[in-house]
Amino acid sequence: MKAHPRSWLFVPADSEKKIARALASEADAVIFDLEDSVAPARKAAAREILKSLPARSGGPHWWVRINPLGSEYLKADLGLFASADFEGIVLPKAESGADVAQLAHRTGNLPVHAIVTETPASLFGMLSYRDPKSPLAAMSWGAEDLSAALGASSKYDAAGELSFTYKLARSLCLVAAAAAGVQAVDGVFADFRDEQGLRAEAEAARSEGFNGKLAIHPDQVAIINAAFSPSKAEIAHARAIVAAFEAEPDSGVLSVGGKMVDRPHLLQAQRVLARAG
Ligand code: COA
Ligand code: MG
């Protein structure tokens, strides 16, 4: 099982200062953003900054969020991937597996992390990502662009919770990632001063099945890494389940710590141990 980045830290690619800080962080992956956080007049400068980065030596993995397929910036953005230091491409406003295939075709199959809920049509393309030949590696979701496309005046209901439409988008992303066999990455928590809120949201995401989360500020990284790292107790429990099945390889169902465990529990335990490294 391949290890998945827990924290994916966005950094606007036109800011050398922020890039230096992001690369010095404990993020598992940094996403150099060429899209929404970079003004049109700064797109070219941002590409030049990425081209002049010194070769990667350890630290976070490098991903680049390009501008959407069909945008005027796409061709120049794709010119960046001659450098082998980039682990993969984050594709915003993805609508289907065909979008991923098109990108793969143009980049020699670089891994793709698709953001899959940003347009109204995208919510109807979820099963199309399920393609064993695809270089798709991760899926995440976002509410900002979707709410703008819907003409919504707010993403929240009267109780201050995300409205149903965005919860639906989030769940579709989670389930579609599982269907496609790729990493499910939870969306950004924009209020970067609210550490408790982020911790609660990240822990809830992990218990639902997400195994990483987007970040927008370096202060979010440690909280996200912790939330997506199994605790000592979880590791011990997972080891006990794996050991029990190893001791009785012909059993489909066993009792561990007084509770029934069968194949789904074994898979989950193996996943916990893989994540623990
Ligand atoms: N990556 C690297 N460094 C960052 C950072 C990031 N995502 N966000 C903030 N920093 C740096 C700041 O530059 C600042 O550095 P300094 O102390 O050397 O001046 C330090 O961390 C503290 O930042 P702070 O003052 O708390 O926030 P800010 O007001 O400077 O920045 C944002 C707030 C939202 C503009 C900034 O966090 C940001 O640019 N986030 C990424 C946005 C993005 O990429 N969005 C697209 C995806 S949704
Ligand atoms: Mg956006």
Over the stretch 117-156, which tens digit does the pLDDT of each residue have?
999 999 999 999 999 999 999 999 999 999 999 999 999 9
For residues 13 and 47, the answer to whether their CB atoms sit within 8 Å is: yes
Go through the domains of the chain in sequence order and give each one's CATH number: 7-227 (3.20.20.60), 232-275 (no CATH)
- What's residue 28's pLDDT? 97
Which of 37-41, 78-82, 175-179, 180-184 is predicted least confidently? 78-82
* Closest of 144, 190, 189, 151 to residue 166, by C-alpha: 144
Cβ of 12 closer than 6 Å to ligand 1, yes or no, is: yes
Cβ of 37 closer than 6 Å to ligand 1, yes or no, is: yes
Q: How far apart are CA 153 and CA 244, in angstroms?
A: 54
pTM: 0.94
**Counting atoms of ligand 1 from 1, which one is nearest the CA of 22?**
2
Q: What letter would DSSP give residue 130? A: -
Q: What letter would DSSP give residue 156? A: B
Q: Which of 9, 17, 21, 42 to mutate to test the pocket of ligand 1 (most atoms within 8 A of CB)?
A: 21
Task: Provide the 3-class DSSP secondary structure of residue 207.
Answer: helix
Cβ of 193 closer than 6 Å to ligand 1, yes or no, is: no
pLDDT tens digits for 37-84? Answer: 999 999 999 999 999 999 999 999 999 999 999 999 999 999 999 877
Between the CA of 121 and the centroid of ligand 1 the distance, in Å, is: 31
Residue nearest to atom 8 of ligand 1 (CA): 217
Between the CA of 275 and the centroid of ligand 1 the distance, in Å, is: 28
Between the CA of 144 and the centroid of ligand 2 the distance, in Å, is: 6
- Nearest ligand for residue 145 CA: 2
Please, which residues have CB within 8 angstroms of residue 73's CB and are 6 or more apart in sequence?
34, 43, 66, 67
Between the CA of 136 and the centroid of ligand 1 the distance, in Å, is: 28
Between the CA of 111 and the centroid of ligand 1 the distance, in Å, is: 26
Q: How far apart are CA 185 and CA 88, in angstroms?
A: 15
Task: Provide the 3-class DSSP secondary structure of residue 62.
Answer: strand
